[in-house]
């Protein structure tokens, strides 16, 4: 018996990033202010006091970064477009310098034979739109659809894979509910309106995509799907885990793929006087057929019933086994379970659009970074992806989060997820052992 684990021919191996986390150049090239540009200036909100002002300076160094991707043999690269680079004040005429930046990036990728996968929204709303209510305001969905159509006509044919949103759950619950992310609002009543308008904007963008009739291109969405386990088989804990699964996973999967919100979740929130502002026709728009689903998964969470938490009535039980630097349990079967959850709803090709780990990498005296823990993490999760395929998942690709260390939102630059190490003082990129490992995986199309 061989230990070889191979993937289907044509399987897409990639790495992922997001605009605010890597680009820097926050006020260059005519870019407008985003909610993250505003948020990071509030004292105390970013764990280590850093910001994305400069981040990896990718805006200026994209050519070098594409060079690293090519050397690694990446088949695809998932990046996001900063909406405020295109519409600095949220509407009006598109900013040519912003469009040109992404044109250059996409051309550089295609020149190296790397398939671009573009995400239209990875949480960096133009601040001007937040000033008018942000995602709580239904009009933001219309502005998003306009922005999406501009991108489809500018770059549609060059980008075969388009994702509307990245993890609308995080934007709605963390941006508007607990305030841990931009725009930093803390209002339970804002969560479901924000979530609904994010979903609505997804559907409107899908319509805009179909209207653009771009030959050979596909449109989908990227959702966070983490498995939620009960801390015990007591019915109360089982119900708690189901509530969290409802809010985090099904609240987005069910509208997109079945055109309705999950009943149990609606009932739960209605008791807290929270409801999505659904208008006639919205659910039809939200559930327009899409071509693929991107799944971001990193770990599982375990929950016990606890009504001191009024929102979900659940408390997270700390993992017993080994964790990453984020405190996330290392649980490779999250890939299998997340894809199984996706398949309960989605009958479309799937991608793992994010999977990876933060560790406190040490730079050796010789400058080498032997991130053995990340290599182990990736190996185990890639093997799990193969098990998911064997179980019947139509998995078409796997993207590591992330290409390089970057600005990890409220955690700041201290949390490092990269295959490539970023020295923020000099902007030097150094391959970690995991980058060499991933190059091998790609070359063999497996382990």
| Residue 135 DSSP code | G
**Please, which residue, 68 or 122, has the CB nearer to ligand FCB?**
122
167 catalytic, yes or no? yes
Instruction: Name the minimum Å distance from CB 111 to ligand FCB.
Output: 26
Q: Which of 23, 130, 167, 337 is catalytic?
A: 167
158 catalytic, yes or no? no
Query: How many other CB atoms are found less than 10 A from the CB of residue 31?
Result: 25
Interface positions with ligand FCB (CB under 6 A): 18, 21, 166-167, 170, 224, 296, 354, 401, 408-409, 417
Question: Could you tell me if 154 and 199 are in contact, meaning their C-beta atoms sit under 8 angstroms apart?
Answer: no
Q: Residue 140: which H helix or E strand, with range? A: helix 139-155
Token readout for 111 is 């020149």
Helix/strand/coil for 9: coil
Helix/strand/coil for 363: coil
**Please, which residue, 165 or 268, has the CB nearer to ligand FCB?**
165
**Please, which residue, 282 or 329, has the CB nearer to ligand FCB?**
329
Instruction: Name the minimum Å distance from CB 50 to ligand FCB.
Output: 14
CA 176 remoteness from chain centre: 17
Instruction: Name the minimum Å distance from CB 443 to ligand FCB.
Output: 26
Instruction: Name the minimum Å distance from CB 183 to ligand FCB.
Output: 16
Report the residue closest to ligand FCB, judged by CB: 18
**Please, which residue, 282 or 371, has the CB nearer to ligand FCB?**
371
Question: Could you tell me if 390 and 5 are in contact, meaning their C-beta atoms sit under 8 angstroms apart?
Answer: no
Instruction: Name the minimum Å distance from CB 24 to ligand FCB.
Output: 16
**Please, which residue, 50 or 137, has the CB nearer to ligand FCB?**
50
The dihedral through the CA atoms of 335, 353, 421, 31 has a sign that is negative
Instruction: Name the minimum Å distance from CB 252 to ligand FCB.
Output: 13
**Please, which residue, 199 or 283, has the CB nearer to ligand FCB?**
199
> Dihedral angle at the C-alpha atoms of 22, 25, 27, 28, nearest 10 degrees?
-130
Give the end-to-end CA distance of the chain in Å, rounded to a whole number: 15
State how far the Cα of 162 lies from the Cα of 141, in Å rounded to an integer. 17
HEC profile for 165-229?
EECHHHHHHHHHHCCCCCCCCCCHHHHHHHHHHHHHHHHHHHHHHHHHCCCCCEEEEEEECCCEE
Q: Which residues are catalytic?
A: 167, 354
């Amino acid at each position: 018996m061989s230990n070889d684990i191979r993937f289907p021919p044509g399987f897409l191996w990639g790495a992922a990033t997001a605009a605010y986390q890597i680009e820097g150049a926050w006020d260059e090239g005519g870019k407008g202010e985003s909610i993250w540009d505003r948020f990071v200036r509030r004292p105390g909100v970013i764990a280590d006091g850093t910001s994305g002002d400069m981040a990896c300076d990718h805006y200026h160094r994209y050519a070098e970064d594409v060079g690293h991707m090519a050397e690694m043999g990446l088949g695809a690269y998932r990046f996001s477009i900063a909406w405020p680079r295109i519409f600095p004040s949220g509407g009006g005429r598109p900013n040519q310098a912003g469009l040109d930046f992404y044109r250059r990036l996409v051309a550089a990728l295609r020149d190296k034979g790397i398939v671009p996968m573009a995400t239209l929204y990875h949480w960096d709303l133009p601040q001007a739109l937040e000033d008018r209510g942000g995602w709580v305001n239904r009009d933001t969905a219309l502005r998003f659809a306009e922005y999406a159509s501009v991108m489809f006509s500018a770059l549609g044919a060059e980008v075969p894979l388009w994702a509307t949103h990245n993890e609308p759950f995080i934007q709605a619950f963390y941006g508007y509910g607990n305030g841990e992310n931009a725009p930093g609002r803390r209002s339970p009543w804002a969560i479901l309106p924000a979530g609904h308008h994010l979903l609505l904007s997804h559907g409107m963008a899908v319509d805009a995509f179909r209207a653009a009739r771009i030959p050979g291109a596909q449109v989908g969405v990227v959702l966070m799907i983490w498995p939620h386990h009960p801390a015990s088989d007591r019915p109360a804990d089982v119900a708690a885990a189901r509530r969290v699964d409802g809010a985090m996973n099904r609240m987005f999967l069910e509208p997109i793929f079945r055109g309705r919100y999950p009943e149990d979740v609606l009932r739960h929130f209605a008791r807290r006087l929270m409801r999505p502002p659904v208008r006639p026709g919205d659910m039809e728009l939200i559930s327009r057929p899409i071509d693929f689903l991107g799944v971001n998964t990193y770990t599982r969470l375990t929950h016990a019933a606890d009504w001191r938490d009024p929102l979900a009535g659940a408390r997270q039980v700390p993992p017993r086994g080994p964790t990453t630097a984020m405190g996330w349990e290392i649980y490779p079967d999250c890939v299998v379970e997340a894809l199984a959850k996706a398949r309960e709803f989605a009958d479309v090709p799937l991608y793992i659009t994010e999977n990876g780990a933060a560790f406190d990498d040490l730079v050796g005296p010789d400058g080498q970074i032997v991130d053995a823990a990340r290599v182990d993490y990736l190996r185990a999760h890639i093997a799990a992806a193969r098990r998911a395929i064997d179980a019947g998942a139509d998995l078409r690709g796997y993207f590591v989060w992330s290409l390089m260390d970057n600005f990890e939102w409220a955690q700041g630059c201290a949390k490092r997820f990269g295959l490539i190490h970023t020295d923020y003082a000099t902007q030097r990129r150094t391959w970690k052992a995991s980058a060499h490992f991933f190059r091998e995986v790609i070359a063999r199309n497996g382990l």
